Amino acid sequence: MVKKEGKIGQKITELRFSGVFDYEKLYLAMYNWLRSHYYEVSETYKHKMVATGAEIELTFKGERKESEFYKYLLDVETHFWDMVDTEVVADGKKQKLNKARFTIVIKMTVVLDYQSQFDKSGFLVRLFNWLRFTIMKERILVLWAGKLCSEAYKLDTKIKEELGMYTAYNAYS
Amino acid sequence: MPEQKLVIEGIEIGFEGVMNIKEIYKILDDWLNDNNYDKNELVNVEYLRPEGKYIELVLEPNKKVSDYVKNIIKIKAVAKNVKDVEIEQDGKKKKMQEGNLSIMFRGILETDYEGRWEQKATIFFLRVLVDKYIYKFYTDRFESALAKDVREISTQAKSFLNLYKY
């Protein structure tokens, strides 16, 4: 049986951060960005308390159907360790923030033929693979995957801005 | 597996003093975008430490120059003991950073990145022959173009850092 190669995906970036930040603002920034870009968002959340603070695993899975043939998946996986509340004085005002170390991984995937129209026979699978690697190759890689890649970098920049990172810039914007 | 050849290495920039990290990142990112490289930011680290911030950035931008050859520039930037400082420039206050920065550049030429010449042992053997005797002329040209790109991006960063005189 011929295997259908209908997914193009890659890890976009991995942010590692340690310091003071606003967890609520970060959460809202990620969620609102996905919603404002018309992604349907599903969320998983795991919380564990240990002696050094909270350990949190939060994942957003964004999904957006672009047409009847392809859809975008944009996943944000976060893992926080040793998260505690802290009070910081900024501009003469007391602020309640959070302190932790964490990683944020952004992954993108373009799913082709998500309605499985080409799964019905071996011939259709072969036809799909032929289209995917010849006639439609440039369109899929440059236009479709390129668009999702630029969106993923915009989300990455938004997260960096929220964290006040120096590298909060991307040439796509 | 695609074959990778190290074309250029040993380009390293070291800097100690006042700089603008955001601008340096912007210069690298803009150059990659202008020259049609996919940024491919592998890791971006920012840790707050008592002596200052530790920042590490690993980029592996790549550009497909043909169906067979791909340019990869490996960039690793590490900034240590980074502290925010305010300086006055033309009567205006500007937020800058002080610390130690080092950036390393390497250029790698990847051939057969789609793995099409590896399906059978005979085809793989044929590929080695083609690479060595027929395609070599083209590969040499790609190598020099990649080396030029690596020198250009490193020169951009170096020139920018040399602008700082505080």
Nearest by CB to A19, from B25, B39, B47: name it.
Answer: B47
Q: Which residue has the higher pLDDT, A38 or A173?
A: A38
- pLDDT tens for A49-58 read 999 999 999 9
Minimal CA separation from A124 to chain B, in Å: 22
Q: Give yes or no for residue B106 having a pLDDT over 70.
A: yes
Residue B43 is predicted with a pLDDT of 93
Of A106 and B138, the one with more pLDDT: A106
Q: CA-to-CA distance for B68 and B56, rounded, in angstroms?
A: 32
Q: Residues in chain B whose beta carbon is closer than 8 A to a beta carbon of chain A?
A: 21-22, 25-26, 29-30, 32-34, 38-39, 41-48, 53, 55, 57, 82, 97
Interface of A with B in 1-60 (CB under 8 A): 12-20
Residue of A nearest to B114 (CA): A133
- Which residues in chain A are closer than 8 Å to B53, comparing Cβ atoms? 19
Q: Tokens 């969106």 belong to which residue?
A: A151
In chain B, what residues touch A159 (CB-CB under 8 Å)? none
**What is the reported pLDDT for A27?**
96
Question: What pLDDT is attached to residue B166?
Answer: 52
Kindly give the residue spans of alpha helices, DSSP state H, lying in chain B: 21-34, 121-129, 136-162
A36: burial class by Cβ within 10 Å (0-12, 13-18, 19+)?
exposed
Share above pLDDT 90 across residues of chain A, in percent, rounded to a whole number: 82
For chain B, say whether A124 makes contact (Cβ under 8 Å).
no
Note whether A13 contacts B38, CB cutoff 8 Å. no
pLDDT value for A1: 67
Across the range B35-53, mean pLDDT stands at 92
When pLDDT is cut at 50, 70 and 90, the band that residue A77 belongs to is very high
Q: Closest partner residue to A18 among B30, B44, B48, by Cβ?
A: B48
> CB–CB of B103/B13 below 8 Å?
yes
Q: Which two tokens stand for residue A70?
A: 């392809």
B44 pLDDT band (50/70/90 cuts)? Answer: very high
d(CA B89, CA B9) in angstroms, rounded, equals: 36
Q: pLDDT band for position B163 (50/70/90)?
A: low
Predicted TM-score of the model (pTM): 0.89
Minimum-distance CB partner of B39 among A14, A153, A168 = A153
Q: Residue B60 pLDDT > 90, yes or no?
A: yes
Q: Is the separation of the CB atoms in A123 and A46 below 8 Å? A: no
Predicted confidence at residue A90, as pLDDT, reads 77
Give every CB contact of residue B13 below 8 A, 6+ residues apart in sequence.
B101, B102, B103, B154, B157, B158, B161
Tokens linked to B159: 């020139």
pLDDT in tens, B122-145: 888 888 888 888 888 888 899 999
ipTM for the assembly: 0.83
The answer to whether B146 and B107 have CB atoms below 8 angstroms apart is yes
* CA–CA separation, B85 and B47 (whole Å): 18
Q: Assign A66 to helix, strand or coil.
A: coil
Predicted pLDDT at A173: 67
Whose tokens are 């006040």? That residue is A164
CB contact under 8 A, A14 and B29: no
pLDDT value at position B165? Answer: 55
Give CA–CA dist A112/A140, Å, rounded. Answer: 9
Residue A2 has pLDDT above 80, yes or no: no
The residue extents of the domains of chain B are 3-162
Residue of chain B whose Cα is closest to the Cα of A142: B38
How far is CA A106 from each of CA A103, A168, B14, B34, B81, rounded to the nearest angstrom?
10, 15, 30, 24, 28
Residue located via tokens 């071996």 = A122
Q: B86, B97, B100: which is closest to B15 by C-alpha?
A: B100
pLDDT digits (tens, 9 = 90+) for A111-128: 999 999 998 888 999 999
Instruction: Please give the share of chain A, as a percent, with pLDDT higher than 70.
Output: 99
Q: Which of A62-76, A97-111, B108-122 shows the lowest per-residue confidence on average (mean pLDDT)?
A: B108-122
pLDDT averaged over every residue in chain B: 90
Chain A residues inside the 8 Å CB shell of B55? 166-167
Burial of B31 (0-12, 13-18, 19+ CB in 10 A): middle
